[in-house]
Amino acid sequence: MATSKQNLSDLLRQEVKQDTTEKGKEAAAAKPKAAAKKVELPTQPSATALSRMTKAQLLKHIEWLQSQPSEVKAAPIPDAEAEKAAAEAKKVAAKNAALAKQVKALEGEIATQNKAIATAEKTIKTLKTDSAEKTKLKKELTKQQGLVEKLYAQVQVLEAEVNKPEPEPKPEPKERTVDEDRALVLARISSYQANLQFPTQPASSIPEEDIGWFD
């Protein structure tokens, strides 16, 4: 209770000081007036009297209350004002609770969005890696296809060489018999005679079987 009184007293002092500062210049320019009569406040003013007090009077009354022993209680606040203050406090508390709930929901949405963004970034990174790997594999596949085609051409050449028919062997020369040699000699002599047209020789008196052959 003493703390609440002290805070209210400080607020009233600040407001009174501010009012005094704002009206200082006007008071200095105006003619001095007669000092106001000192107003004696009752020890325990009624609720109506409290509502009609000025700030200075309220400040003075609060200072008096603070100077009294702790067992002396301040004048009770009217029930209507207390209910109004409680209702306002309840509204403020409900509003703050609603705002806190909204803030918590927004924080949850932000966390969900951040998680989705992280997942999307990871997916994009994976797709980029997969695309690079796919391009690399495609180049390697093209290279391998070229090697396969080259090897296939070499295989076709080898198959052509393997399937090439072997040349027929040349017939080995056979040894001629004596009769074959005699026939060849006679044929050669006849050819010479036909080409050279030797003169006709007289018939030999030696029988042909006695002439003999070159054997």
The predicted-structure confidence for 177-206, as pLDDT tens digits, reads as follows 777 777 887 888 777 666 665 555 555 555
Which residues constitute the domain of residue 70?
Answer: 2-22+39-76
The rounded distance, in Å, linking the Cα atoms of 113 and 115 is 5
Q: Which residues of the chain have pLDDT under 70?
A: 1-47, 68-79, 169, 171-174, 176, 192-215
Indicate whether 134 belongs to any domain: no
Indicate whether 62 belongs to any domain: yes
Indicate whether 138 belongs to any domain: no
Indicate whether 154 belongs to any domain: no
- How many CA within 13 A on the CB side of residue 77? 8
Res 209: pLDDT:
63
The model's pTM: 0.29
- Structurally, how many domains does the chain consist of? 1
DSSP character string of 136-187:
HHHHHHHHHHHHHHHHHHHHHHHHHHHTSPPPPPPPPPPPPPHHHHHHHHHH
Indicate whether 58 belongs to any domain: yes
Res 35: pLDDT:
44
